[in-house]
Amino acid sequence: MATLDQDLTPLPADQVARSARMERLFRWLNDPADPSWERPGPTPAQRRHDVLGMLGGLLVGLLMMMLAKSIGRVIEGETAWHAYVAVAAMVAPLALRRVRPLLTLVISSVLFLALSYFSPEASVSLTFQVAYFTAIYTAVAWARNRRDLWLLAVLVLGEMTLWLVISFTMTNAMRGASQFDHASGPMEPQLALVLFTAVMNIAYFGGALLIGRTSWRGALQRERARRRAEQLAQQAEELARRAVLDERIRIARELHDVVAHHISVIGIQAGAARRVLDTSPAAAQDALRHVETASRQAVAEMRSLLHVLRHEAGEEHGRAPEPGLADVDELAQSQQAAGLQVQVHRTESFLADQELIPAPLGLSAYRCVQEALTNVVRHSTATTAQVTLRTGATQESSWVEIEVVDGGRPRPNTSGTGYGMRGIEERAALHHGHAEFGPREHEIGWRVRVRLPFSP
């Protein structure tokens, strides 16, 4: 109990405030809505560009150093070759700046501090400063582990502080007071030098961090735009598919209404002709003419509707047989192109009753399997799925059942429109069956189960 009470003791206010500040800083380097996002690594072309850029920067840096020495911008007492070595050593790590951004930052930070005293002449050159600026910017823009980046950013700031302290103590002591001989400003020269150097370094380091963070955020925004575009494309495809399905359902209902209406008329007129055939031949003939007219109208309207159904894309020259449960194996093989391995299991009762299942019901069951597998490919991380086909019987009727299960987790940012599951429910209701779907109870994954009654 004492341990429990100790665990429930609230944290001190200063520790809570410090944790909040650290969390705000971490979110500043990242994104509050997607803090775990990792920027994809560089492409082969970007890697080649880094190597070529490093070589180009190396040539420019050595050339500028040679020109500076040629016009007399040298420091007395420094060995001539030190500056060339320092520039080359500072530029070389940039060849791996996007492949290993954090390692490049660590190496560049050590080199920046060491080479500044190995060759003060090189440390004030533009190439030397731009190389370290690029290393800081690239680390913030391309680092995948943002927590390590935050720790390295603290080390970089500590390095800046150390470098400034050394510059204001040892370096200025060696220079002496002669550097202030021509000072004419209103501020104390030593204080003005401290403020001037501090502002320059804050702009230097802070600018690299800010530009790198902006680049990382820009990459994240592009990734979000790409995800939204893919999601919109999937939803548009789903809406188009659903629109076609709704149109088919509408035409099927119209076909049903046409057949029901004309068959009813034919039945009534045929019955009337039979009753008056002996007593009133003229009335019987009139009824038979109505039967003939109604049958021709029914045939004409059915042909018109079937003509619309058959003239779909890829079916202008014929109509393939409607699939059934015997075609589930072929459907499973077709999913391999999408990276989904499907196993089909048939129970012994299903194998015995397979020939007794009516074709329309088999078509509906096939479509339910097809829609369930499509949802696995689109909305799940699963790479395998199982389809089980079984039959059974109750006192009222027999039934066929299809079950599709997978072991994946929901794929992020792939929420669908719900039309697929609604279509499965509508097909089940059409045959007076029922459908259920949702997460599996004791395992990871999703399950779809549809049971359809039938009379052999």
Q: Tell which residue, 154, 81, 75, 84, has the closest CA to residue 120.
A: 75
* Average pLDDT taken over every residue of the chain: 80
Task: Pick the last residue of a domain from 310, 333, 363.
Answer: 310
- Residues 305, 340 within the same domain: no
What mean pLDDT comes out for the span 18-45? 73
pLDDT at 203 over 90: no
- Among the residue ranges 33-37, 113-117, 266-270, 287-291, the one predicted with the least confidence is 33-37
Of 316 and 161, the one with more pLDDT? 161
pLDDT for position 345: 93
pLDDT at 86 over 90: yes
Q: Is residue 10 part of a domain?
A: no
- Residues 263, 341 within the same domain: no
pLDDT for position 414: 64
Q: Is residue 348 part of a domain?
A: yes
- Residues 32, 138 within the same domain: yes
Q: Is residue 43 part of a domain?
A: yes
User: H helices then E strands: how many in the chain?
Assistant: 15, 5
Within 13 A of 368's CA, how many CA atoms are on the CB side?
A: 36
Residue 431 near residue 454, CB atoms below 8 Å: yes
Q: Is residue 2 part of a domain?
A: no
Task: Pick the last residue of a domain from 249, 278, 310.
Answer: 310
Q: Is residue 7 part of a domain?
A: no
pLDDT at 308 over 80: no
pLDDT band at 313 (very low <50, low <70, confident <90, very high): very low
- Residues 162, 263 within the same domain: no
What is the per-residue pLDDT across 32-61, written as a single tens digit (0 to 9) for each? 677 677 888 899 999 999 999 999 999 999
How far apart (Å, rounded) are the C-alpha atoms in residues 99 and 43?
9
pLDDT for position 54: 93
Of 446 and 21, the one with more pLDDT? 446
Spatial CB neighbours of 252, under 8 Å, sequence gap ≥ 6: none
pLDDT for position 223: 86
The structure's pTM equals: 0.50
Task: Pick the last residue of a domain from 260, 275, 310.
Answer: 310
Provide the CATH number for the domain around residue 370: 3.30.565.10
How far apart (Å, rounded) are the C-alpha atoms in residues 197 and 115?
19
pLDDT band at 290 (very low <50, low <70, confident <90, very high): confident
How far apart (Å, rounded) are the C-alpha atoms in residues 132 and 118?
16
pLDDT for position 3: 45
Provide the CATH number for the domain around residue 268: 1.20.5
pLDDT for position 450: 94
- Residues 371, 446 within the same domain: yes
Spatial CB neighbours of 314, under 8 Å, sequence gap ≥ 6: none
Range of the domain at 409: 325-454
Within 13 A of 391's CA, how many CA atoms are on the CB side?
A: 21
pLDDT at 4 over 50: no
Of 157 and 373, the one with more pLDDT? 373
pLDDT for position 449: 94
Q: How do beta strands 446-454 and 434-439 pair? A: antiparallel
What is the per-residue pLDDT across 126-157, written as a single tens digit (0 to 9) for each? 899 899 999 988 988 898 887 788 778 788 77
pLDDT for position 315: 47
pLDDT band at 435 (very low <50, low <70, confident <90, very high): very high
pLDDT at 189 over 80: no
Q: Is residue 253 part of a domain?
A: yes
Got the DSSP string for 336-348?
Answer: GGGT-EEEEEE-H
How far apart are the two ends of the chain, measured CA to CA in Å?
68
- Residues 274, 167 within the same domain: no
Q: Tell which residue, 340, 412, 342, has the closest CA to residue 383.
A: 340
- Residues 306, 382 within the same domain: no
Q: How many domains is the chain built from?
A: 3
Q: Is residue 6 part of a domain?
A: no
How far apart (Å, rounded) are the C-alpha atoms in residues 113 and 101?
18
- Residues 164, 59 within the same domain: yes
Q: How many CB atoms lie within 10 A of CB 213?
A: 16
- Residues 303, 382 within the same domain: no
- Residues 43, 114 within the same domain: yes
Q: Is residue 200 part of a domain?
A: no
- Residues 279, 341 within the same domain: no
**What element of type H or E holds 46?**
helix 44-70
How far apart (Å, rounded) are the C-alpha atoms in residues 98 and 456?
67
Residue 78 near residue 120, CB atoms below 8 Å: yes
- Residues 329, 426 within the same domain: yes
